[in-house]
Chains A and B, each alone.
Chain A
Amino acid sequence: MADVQDTIRERAAALLSSGEVSAVIGWGAGRFDDVRFPLVVKRAEDAGKLVFDASCVQMTAKRLLEHTGEGKVALVARGCESRAVNRFIADHQLTRDQVYVIGVPCPGMVDPATGETLKRCAECQVRNPVVHDELVGDPVPEPKPYRFAEVDRVEAMSREERRAFFDEMYGKCIRCYACRNACPCCTCRECFVEQDKVGWQGKAFNVNEARYYGMIRAFHTGDRCIECGECERACPMGLPLMVIMHQQVRDIDKLFGPYEGGGLTDSGPDPLRTYKTDDIEEFM
């Protein structure tokens, strides 16, 4: 990965000094060896601060939206970031010419807490960038690991156990909205949870309100989820948020498919924004 990191630095410096891009978004070193943070580099001489190693756990793509209107911005993008770029374009939050994608095939990151492969990387379906202006490093194999193990586990439970599972999950939710802030599908200007007047979301701190938040957010993003798993990674309570996303993704794939993870292209109507007159009928 050291070669890749060097090339990223070189390319970032070149892009910045040529003026082709106004900023490069990647990762920088944190206070500890195994901690990396999203870094926005605006001067060619700072390109050396960019880091790329197995500790780059964050998904940086959402930073792009903070820099629209500043000219073209380069993004160091792995599979997940590249899908987020497509997601932004499909949601009209970004145009393709606003971003310069430095694609980086990703072998998977390491969870600093456990020293093992990060969960979202262990479930990753698309390690190589699906869109890029240039590719740094050689494409990596796509093992396409099975990602529905947790869904299977919950599905196998009795109804009461499932309810207990989600009661426990939402009972632990502190509604910090970190999942929403991290999610590349959550690009609303004003989230439904903050609209007090309409009263979607109550202010009370209890499992019901957390469930309302969790499930509605999941439904809002369900047909567009790129399965990056960043919500789950960002959750300070360590809640298995992807279980409900994966459940929806699998249902949508089965019912209205194929939906092999969103963000593979930047077009095509999202499953809940379209219909077929011969969709299966179960409500007669």
Chain B
Amino acid sequence: MSRIGVFVCHCGTNIAGTVDVEAVADAARQMPNVAYAGTNKYMCSAQGQDYIVDIIKEHNLDRVVIASCSPRMHERLFRKVLAEKTDLNPYLLEVANIREQCSWVHKDKQIGTPKAINLVAMAVAKADCDTQLFTHEIPVTKRALIIGGGIAGIQAALDIADAGFPVTIVERKTTIGGKMPMLDKTFPTLDCSACISTPKMSECEAHPLIEIKTLSEVEKVEGYIGNFDVTIREKAKYIDYDKCTGCGMCETKCPQKKIPSEFNQGMSTRTAVYKPFPQAVPSKPTIDADHCRMLTEGKCGVCAKVCPTGAIDYQDVDRVTTERYGAIVLATGYELIDWTRLYGEYGGGRYADVISGLQFERLVNASGPTEGHILRPSDGTEPKTMVIVKCVGSRDPHKGVPYCSRACCMYGAKHAHQFMDKVPGGKCFVFYMDVRTPGKNYDEFYMNTLHEGARYIRGRISKITRRSDGKLVCLGEDTLSGNVVEVDADMVVLETAMVPPEGAKKLAQTVNTQLGPEGFFTEAHPKLRPVETNTGGLYLAGTAQGPKDIPDTVAQAGAAAAKVIGLLCKQSIESNPMVAHVDDSKCSGCGACVDICPYSAVTLVEKTLRENSRKVTRTVAQVNEGLCQGCGACTVACRPGASDLLGFNDEGIMREVEAYATR
């Protein structure tokens, strides 16, 4: 026999206006196991809390039902009251929602009161089956893993490391830095992108608490918040970084010189042993195994001959390590949509002078393939008329992606500005759907570009054809005037959509989190938990979460770092006690729960149990309480109900059902 106390809240007139709270308390007194029922004006107020505490002591109550607002509102508060001010276990509490789901949706007491009584009866029935639950301490490994070494990953790594926690950056390319060092200037201030990003890269390299693993990928993640066991594959670089001094001898002598440079977007070439750009970090080369003649054909070996320190190692193999981290930040960035595959009307990549925005960045960059001179890739002449097409792929659900890529309006304006700046007398036409400039000093920048003479035409380009004289004929419509517009351009720049990087889906499965329909990682709450994921200890930074520009990326990386630091500075964290629990005596080890668990929290283990005064060793399911999030999907798959969800146990729900059905 339990002794349940029922506390009915007036919530001023919020509840009492349409529910006769005294009648509810009267009815509650007649319910089984109810030892006390009373009302209070505001149960959540200090005075209301004291009332609950006093009554619990006075009437020696062992269960509490509070009929008030939604449990999503104040359940936590009332639990805290029980934990701090009474001897009751805080989980011996049920909240009957008689405000949001009763008094607020019904107009008079005739309807509200009987419904409230029903809701209280259900809560009373469930409370009777509640058991004491206890949290336990999960130790926290004070190290963070950053997946992705772009500006988001770098910023997060620096912030976390500066707070005193070791950080590992896993980067799949040969250098950290991501896309930012490829950019020429950043809007709206036009400061040199490489000049502000490469110092951060070297800061990472020099930081005593930051370890950088390039050419590496995360293969497996096991464990849970505070204790992730992460398996990382570091691919063979064929160069012993302990010996290599980064002198660059190998690069100058490598006979394979015709490989398109990824860093310059295919507009220049590199060697097979290479550093993608001079300020790359780590500032040591790697051998591209797909193009190295020694590795593909077994003959050459020039680099090994010229290397003064003997650092070249053609026998190098992948290294796989498993280490434990307390938190993981996903900073996997973005890729640009492959417009050549989608937009045949823009030439589908057949016209050399139709380039992407990122290619333009390299063209206009002083360290790029043309040393900063804007020259047509086809013939090396200076274009006099340039067309910029925005929203290529973005906001185009039929061909590309439905969302806005957020940064293109601004860098489109920047490209127009840079063109007019570098090509005196040059004409620039910008085809746009909308101009979106919601950032500090952004609209001013756009207005400036307009004043400099960029012609903005509202409409999409429908077709680009190349005339025999090399001109690109761009056909579009000015939707404001309704006129057909035809521009003979020397060069066309397509501002293409940001899309999730290849492998995001696989990574989501590896780290056990979700992707949105567009393929970016899903945050725990779009407004209130923007850098967390639904998986504890897993955070998001930068464009991994969705398209954004550099300021937003850096801000979010800092926010993710703050969350990580907040976690890592704890010695331990409290577990959620409302998790699945397996009754060994009922469990036949069939493994249904193992198949179902989305968190891999259930495993089959051999256990020695005492049954009928005998020791028996059997296979039973076991729940890892750190991993279990308490969804209860396994409990339904468990036919004998051996797996039960603490806090929402089968018995409690069945009683709740019966309390309503038979009342």
Q: Which residues of A does B touch, CB under 8 Å?
A: 91-93, 187-192, 195, 197-200, 220, 269-270, 272-274
A92 touches B591 (CB 8 A): yes
B645: shortest Cβ distance to chain A, in Å? 13
B585 touches A93 (CB 8 A): no
B640 touches A188 (CB 8 A): yes
A198 touches B650 (CB 8 A): yes
Chain B 579-601, CB-CB to A under 8 Å as 1, else 0, gives: 00000011111111001100000
A272 touches B637 (CB 8 A): yes
A41–B587 Cα distance when bound, in Å, is 30
B588 touches A273 (CB 8 A): no
A5–B650 Cα distance when bound, in Å, is 50
**What residues of B have a CB within 8 angstroms of the CB of A189 in the complex?**
585-588, 640, 642
**What residues of A have a CB within 8 angstroms of the CB of B604 in the complex?**
92
**What residues of B have a CB within 8 angstroms of the CB of A269 in the complex?**
595
A273 touches B650 (CB 8 A): no
A192 touches B639 (CB 8 A): yes
A189–B651 Cα distance when bound, in Å, is 19
Given contacts A91-B591, A93-B590, 5 further A-B contacts (CB under 8 A): A92-B590, A198-B650, A273-B595, A273-B596, A273-B637
Which chain B residues in 571-627 approach chain A with CB under 8 Å? Answer: 585-592, 595-596, 604, 619
Q: Quick one: closest A residue to B593, CB to CB? A: A273
A272–B650 Cα distance when bound, in Å, is 20
**What residues of B have a CB within 8 angstroms of the CB of A199 in the complex?**
651, 654-655, 658
Whether A195 contacts B637 in the complex (CB less than 8 A), given A92-B589, A187-B588, A190-B586, comes out as: no
Pick the contact of B641: A195, A273, A274 (CB < 8 A): A195
A257–B589 Cα distance when bound, in Å, is 26
Q: Quick one: closest B residue to A197, CB to CB? A: B651
**What residues of A have a CB within 8 angstroms of the CB of B592 in the complex?**
270, 273
Pick the contact of B585: A91, A190, A191, A270 (CB < 8 A): A190
Whether A187 contacts B590 in the complex (CB less than 8 A), given A198-B654, A199-B651, A269-B595, comes out as: yes
A155–B421 Cα distance when bound, in Å, is 78
**What residues of A have a CB within 8 angstroms of the CB of B651 in the complex?**
197-199
The 5 closest A-B pairs by CB, nearest first: A188-B640, A273-B595, A91-B590, A220-B639, A189-B588
**What residues of A have a CB within 8 angstroms of the CB of B642 in the complex?**
189-190
B196: shortest Cβ distance to chain A, in Å? 42
A17–B170 Cα distance when bound, in Å, is 62
A276–B429 Cα distance when bound, in Å, is 48
A156–B654 Cα distance when bound, in Å, is 34
A93–B591 Cα distance when bound, in Å, is 10
**What residues of B have a CB within 8 angstroms of the CB of A272 in the complex?**
637
B588 touches A93 (CB 8 A): yes
B640 touches A191 (CB 8 A): yes
Q: Quick one: closest A residue to B640, CB to CB? A: A188
**What residues of A have a CB within 8 angstroms of the CB of B639 in the complex?**
188, 192, 220
B625: shortest Cβ distance to chain A, in Å? 22
Among B592, B604, B619, B639, max chain A CB count under 10 A is at B639
A199–B649 Cα distance when bound, in Å, is 12
Pick the contact of A200: B595, B619, B637, B641 (CB < 8 A): B641
Which bucket holds chain B's interface residue count?
Answer: 20 to 34
A250–B590 Cα distance when bound, in Å, is 24
A190 touches B640 (CB 8 A): yes
**What residues of B have a CB within 8 angstroms of the CB of A195 in the complex?**
640-641
**What residues of A have a CB within 8 angstroms of the CB of B586 in the complex?**
188-190
A253: shortest Cβ distance to chain B, in Å? 20
**What residues of B have a CB within 8 angstroms of the CB of A93 in the complex?**
588-590
A211: shortest Cβ distance to chain B, in Å? 15
Among A192, A198, A200, max chain B CB count under 10 A is at A198
A202: shortest Cβ distance to chain B, in Å? 10
A274–B604 Cα distance when bound, in Å, is 18
A192–B641 Cα distance when bound, in Å, is 7
Q: List 12 A-B contacts (CB under 8 A).
A: A188-B586, A188-B639, A189-B586, A189-B642, A199-B655, A200-B654, A220-B639, A269-B595, A270-B595, A273-B592, A273-B637, A274-B595
**What residues of B have a CB within 8 angstroms of the CB of A192 in the complex?**
639-641
A91–B587 Cα distance when bound, in Å, is 12
A176–B651 Cα distance when bound, in Å, is 25
A197–B649 Cα distance when bound, in Å, is 12
**What residues of A have a CB within 8 angstroms of the CB of B637 in the complex?**
272-273
Q: Quick one: closest A residue to B638, CB to CB? A: A188
Chain B 633-663, CB-CB to A under 8 Å as 1, else 0, gives: 0000101111000000011001100100000
Among B588, B642, B651, max chain A CB count under 10 A is at B588
B15: shortest Cβ distance to chain A, in Å? 32
A272–B639 Cα distance when bound, in Å, is 12
Among B585, B590, B604, B658, max chain A CB count under 10 A is at B590
A189–B637 Cα distance when bound, in Å, is 15
**What residues of A have a CB within 8 angstroms of the CB of B590 in the complex?**
91-93, 187-188
A264–B590 Cα distance when bound, in Å, is 18
Q: Quick one: closest B residue to A185, CB to CB? A: B639
A200–B635 Cα distance when bound, in Å, is 14
A274–B588 Cα distance when bound, in Å, is 20
A273–B640 Cα distance when bound, in Å, is 15
Which chain B residues in 539-596 approach chain A with CB under 8 Å? Answer: 585-592, 595-596
Pick the contact of A92: B585, B619, B654 (CB < 8 A): B619
Q: Quick one: closest B residue to A274, CB to CB? A: B595
A209: shortest Cβ distance to chain B, in Å? 14
A194: shortest Cβ distance to chain B, in Å? 9
A191–B588 Cα distance when bound, in Å, is 11
Whether A198 contacts B641 in the complex (CB less than 8 A), given A189-B585, A273-B596, comes out as: yes
**What residues of B have a CB within 8 angstroms of the CB of A92 in the complex?**
588-591, 604, 619
A190–B353 Cα distance when bound, in Å, is 74
A184: shortest Cβ distance to chain B, in Å? 13
A190–B620 Cα distance when bound, in Å, is 14
A188–B585 Cα distance when bound, in Å, is 11
A200–B641 Cα distance when bound, in Å, is 10
A198–B640 Cα distance when bound, in Å, is 11
**What residues of A have a CB within 8 angstroms of the CB of B591 in the complex?**
91-92
B308: shortest Cβ distance to chain A, in Å? 56
Q: Quick one: closest B residue to A221, CB to CB? A: B639
**What residues of B have a CB within 8 angstroms of the CB of A273 in the complex?**
592, 595-596, 637
**What residues of A have a CB within 8 angstroms of the CB of B641 in the complex?**
192, 195, 198, 200
A220–B585 Cα distance when bound, in Å, is 19
A197–B651 Cα distance when bound, in Å, is 7
B284: shortest Cβ distance to chain A, in Å? 43
A3: shortest Cβ distance to chain B, in Å? 39
A91–B595 Cα distance when bound, in Å, is 11
**What residues of A have a CB within 8 angstroms of the CB of B589 in the complex?**
92-93
Q: Quick one: closest B residue to A220, CB to CB? A: B639
A214: shortest Cβ distance to chain B, in Å? 15
**What residues of B have a CB within 8 angstroms of the CB of A191 in the complex?**
640
A187–B586 Cα distance when bound, in Å, is 11
A188: shortest Cβ distance to chain B, in Å? 4
B360: shortest Cβ distance to chain A, in Å? 39
